[in-house]
Structure 1
């Protein structure tokens, strides 16, 4: 572990290019997210079938019956989860072919066919609800995010998600945020230093609190080190809830300062203070961020706005499954 904090100098110090804004890793539809999805689908299958069968379908639908259906939005929104459809069907070991007619991130038009499914009718009926549940949830998050992003058009601030996600669904929900045009904050505790008031309350030893600026300097030192050969994350962020705390931490040089529950006037003061003391630090506003407040927050000049509402207040988008006439043999 290095005892010296890494240099915070940038080309901007020499009057050249402005500093590059730090970003947490984006969540992508990769093997890690596929693994999360497959575990969720297995749980969903167990919820629906237990150790039994779909009795209604087996009773009424012939084993060799074929069918075709389309997933259709009933309301406008933003697509998210189309890339997941083959993984969902694979977990059912289903005799189903699929075709996606739209890509994630694209707008959804009511009545527009977005996915076509064809194959064994029993498999289609048994997997229907799980497929729809996942897509409805993710399209809802993407749609909510797009509303927030559009509400701050014309400002340079970006919209970020949080860790206020459904347990087990985090990567999927954060992927949906990205499809809606938002940015991903840290995925977990492993990919950034984010110093909060509880860390300060407990980090100073018995009966003492840790000074915020000292906490930043310590994290800056640690980010150049390793634990059990694991490299420390790059981004150092600290949360403050008062202007005097912001004033104390800016000279220490964190990458980001999260200004929590500041009033609009306090946010404007925070931006002016940052511009004077350390222009390379990004300011992230959080707390009481709603669709009716985010525009005013962005107008204060902050760089980032994080909101748990993108995930925990998003309504499912209404998607339906329409059966198509049997194909000619």
Structure 2
């Protein structure tokens, strides 16, 4: 995570500073000036991304002291003092936007995840992310999902097998794909298959039931019920529970705040939500200066 985070911060700072640096600050603020600025929550939410702000000032100026009054995963209310930056005034101003951009984006993800988690409270379903992440930010965004109380799906194409409809279509159909999985996967590789219909589900379950009856290990460890109604999900879960081996049931496909509870009540183990990362709104933070012993909330942002 540290390597990924340092890369993201380095790219963001290079994008902001170019070859010259913070031209406005260099012209307007004396080099010897020091100060303290406070990170203020301007709306309710869940905090994530403090380590990115740490990394920002570590690269801008390691002499800037960063102190947090809240931890990642904490709930915030408007007006909360989340943290503070102390040291060179020029350094604080130079690192401000990069630090707050990352803090706001990741806290937005954590906040929406927490809202989804709350909506399924009392059911067995857990809220998971997907690979629909911002290019280059996946590790940070998945950490934000965890800060919001969700769980992480596979990280990438390399750490698990997830057979989707296009794999089945281009692979010659569900039967041939299942046989290739049986021939080429091992007990160390987790396999999930996406099904669009209950008929496909039956085919997957029958394939592994026959293997188990012959003393062979199961091939499929999880089944993704894609774009199904709550009634279809409930029927799919019922059929999976009658299977002789433990199989995780996942639901996905256009899940929203309005639909997630009914899907959770249908009994799946996991509900994956791409919108946690691909359609998130930043949480609003401000950086307010300490002037004459009080926090000056009129300090311009940006």
Do both proteins adopt the same fold according to a TM-score greater than 0.5, normalized to the shorter chain? yes
Report if the CA contact (8 A) 1:68-1:325 is conserved: no
Give the alignment partner of residue 31 of structure 2, picking from 63, 79, 96.
Answer: 63
Residues 200-239 of structure 1: matches in 2 within 5 Å?
200-203=168-171, 209-210=172-173, 212-224=174-186, 234-239=189-194
Distance 1:86 1:220, change over 3 A: farther
SS in 2 for 1:277: coil
Q: Which runs of 4+ in 1 moved over 6 A?
A: none
Give distance in 1, aligned partners of 2:78 and 2:244: 48
Pairwise CA distance, 1:54: 1.4
Give the alignment partner of residue 198 of structure 1, picking from 166, 172, 188.
Answer: 166
Does residue 41 of structure 2 align to residue 41 of structure 1? no
Partner of 1:317: 283
Give the alignment partner of residue 99 of structure 2, picking from 131, 136, 145.
Answer: 131
When structure 1 is superposed on structure 2, of 84-93 and 239-248 the one drifting more is: 84-93
Pairwise CA distance, 1:130: 0.3
Q: Unpaired runs of 5+ in structure 2? A: 209-217, 294-302
Q: After superposition, what is the alpha-carbon deviation per residue over 1:11-44, rounded to whole angstroms, capped at 9, x for unaligned?
A: xxxxxxxxxxxxxxxxxxxxxx221221221221
- TM-score scaled to structure 1, two decimals? 0.82
Residues 1-329 of structure 1: matches in 2 within 5 Å?
33-203=1-171, 209-210=172-173, 212-224=174-186, 234-251=189-206, 252=208, 253=218, 254-278=220-244, 280-325=246-291
Pairwise CA distance, 1:94: 4.3
SS in 1 for 2:287: strand
Q: Unpaired runs of 5+ in structure 1? A: 1-32, 204-208, 226-232
- TM-score scaled to structure 2, two decimals? 0.89
Give distance in 1, aligned partners of 2:288 and 2:96: 11
Give distance in 1, aligned partners of 2:48 and 2:71: 8
Give distance in 1, aligned partners of 2:252 and 2:244: 20
- Give the number of aligned pairs: 282
Report if the CA contact (8 A) 1:79-1:106 is conserved: yes
Give distance in 1, aligned partners of 2:228 and 2:148: 26
Report if the CA contact (8 A) 1:216-1:238 is conserved: no
Pairwise CA distance, 1:325: 2.9
Give distance in 2, aligned partners of 1:247 and 1:94: 59
